[in-house]
């Protein structure tokens, strides 16, 4: 009697593992940078002579949004970011990744500019340091300059409401 149940038990176990596997997102690569200091860079602001470095934002919670004019899912996310920036005072840095200043500026003129600063990373070096592999990506950095969360792919209203806003609220409270 016991023996008859063994194949069914093994099969069920296998099905359970495969079912769990189906719910996982294989594209989501956990960032090793979470809980670590934000990588430093010094890059020019878009169409300006001044340079920007994350060090300048020490003491406040801020977002780094990696975007490019050639990235179609950034466009999808951009509307949300513009609305978000209107409703909440928060420093949002746009890292313009592997783009040209003209195209980036045209994109912002057409779709609106939700960013406090737009930084040009033309050769993608800062992107590599931040472990960027698929734009758009959004990092949450706390007042001590530690990366607290990373969103890969476009932000949606759901991710904004369920993940980003609660995190920002707790970070700003402990600030």
Extended strands (E) in the chain = 43-44, 51-52, 62-67, 91-97, 117-121, 137-141, 147-152
- Residue 14 found at the interface with another protein (CB under 8 A): no
Pairing status of strand 147-152 against strand 51-52: unpaired
Question: Do 147 and 141 touch, CB atoms closer than 8 A?
Answer: yes
Q: State how far the Cα of 105 lies from the Cα of 38, in Å rounded to an integer.
A: 26
Binding mask 19-58 for another protein (x = CB under 8 A): -------xx-xxxxx-------------------------
Query: For the packed helices 101-111 and 72-87, what is the interaxial angle rounded to 10 degrees?
Result: 50
115, 130, 139, 151: which one contacts another protein (CB under 8 A)?
130
Piece of the chain touching another protein by CB under 8 A; list 12-20, 50-58, 128-136, 140-148? 128-136
Q: Which is nearer to another protein, 33 or 143 (CB)?
A: 33
- Residue 106 found at the interface with another protein (CB under 8 A): no
- Residue 129 found at the interface with another protein (CB under 8 A): yes
Kindly state the greatest CA–CA separation across the chain: 80
75, 76, 83, 98: which one contacts another protein (CB under 8 A)?
98
Question: Do 33 and 148 touch, CB atoms closer than 8 A?
Answer: no
Least separation in angstroms between CB 3 and another protein: 11
Least separation in angstroms between CB 112 and another protein: 26
Q: State how far the Cα of 18 lies from the Cα of 16, in Å rounded to an integer.
A: 6
Least separation in angstroms between CB 33 and another protein: 7
44, 112, 124, 153: which one contacts another protein (CB under 8 A)?
124
Beta bridge partners of 150: 139
- Residue 7 found at the interface with another protein (CB under 8 A): no
Pairing status of strand 43-44 against strand 51-52: antiparallel
Under DSSP, the state recorded for 37 is B
Q: Which residues bind another protein (CB under 8 A)?
A: 26-27, 29-33, 98, 124, 128-131, 133-134
């Amino acid at each position: 009697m016991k023996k008859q149940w063994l194949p069914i038990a093994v099969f069920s176990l296998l099905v359970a593992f495969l079912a769990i596997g189906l719910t996982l997102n294989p594209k989501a690569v956990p960032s090793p940078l979470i809980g670590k200091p934000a990588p430093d860079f010094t890059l020019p602001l878009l169409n300006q002579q001044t340079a920007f470095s994350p060090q300048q934002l020490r003491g406040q919670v801020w977002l780094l949004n990696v975007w490019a004019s050639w990235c179609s899912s950034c466009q999808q996310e951009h509307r949300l970011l513009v609305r978000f920036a209107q409703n909440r005072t928060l420093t949002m840095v746009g890292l313009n990744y592997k783009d040209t200043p003209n195209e980036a500026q045209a994109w912002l003129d057409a779709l609106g500019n939700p960013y406090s600063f737009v930084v040009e990373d033309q050769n993608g070096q800062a992107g590599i340091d931040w472990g960027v592999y698929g734009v758009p990506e959004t990092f949450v950095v706390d007042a001590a300059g530690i990366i607290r969360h990373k969103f890969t792919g476009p932000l949606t209203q759901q991710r904004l409401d369920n993940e980003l806003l609660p995190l920002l609220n707790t970070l700003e409270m402990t600030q």
